[in-house]
Amino acid sequence: MADVFAPEKRSQVMSRIRSRGNRDTELRMIALFKTAAIRGWRRSQPLFGKPDFVFRRERLAVFVDGCFWHRHRGCKFSYTPKSRIEFWLPKFQRNVARDRLVTRTLRRAGWRVVRIWECDLTPSRHGRVIRRLRGALAAKTPGVKS
């Protein structure tokens, strides 16, 4: 199906959309935190890369990444669209490169980074995600005195 807008109009419409994260995945993550009684997280913290959740005292940044946009390797949701390959492939490569840069920068600044995939937020995988989070929260950050 052809786009109903001309390229200039589509650009204008898309520029009005502001980055606020994926509400559905973030709400599922909040429900998981509550179920597991994990406390101390904050959202919208002024940190490089805009993590979805931040545990300041533990210096832990949690990102909930969409499998499609962030290219979860081997995931059925990480498909490549058949049309406009010349647009999609560079876009995906930029997303993955930006994720690496954010992770590297935060780690150099003394933060630990956990990336949770969107497909891991299904009820059958909750136990695995909770164990990862608890392990990351219990680990000591190198170079930080308690």
Q: What is the pLDDT of residue 146?
A: 43
| pLDDT band, very low/low/confident/very high, at 9 (cuts 50, 70, 90) | confident
Region of 141 on the Ramachandran plot (φ > 0 left; ψ -120 to 50 alpha; else beta): beta
Determine the residue type at 132. Answer: R
Reported as a single tens digit per residue, the pLDDT across 58-81 is 899 999 988 888 888 888 887 888
Reported as a single tens digit per residue, the pLDDT across 10-61 is 788 777 666 555 667 888 888 888 888 888 888 878 889 899 899 999 899 9
Q: Indicate the pTM of the whole model.
A: 0.77
- How far is Cα 58 from Cα 109, in angstroms, rounded to an integer? 13
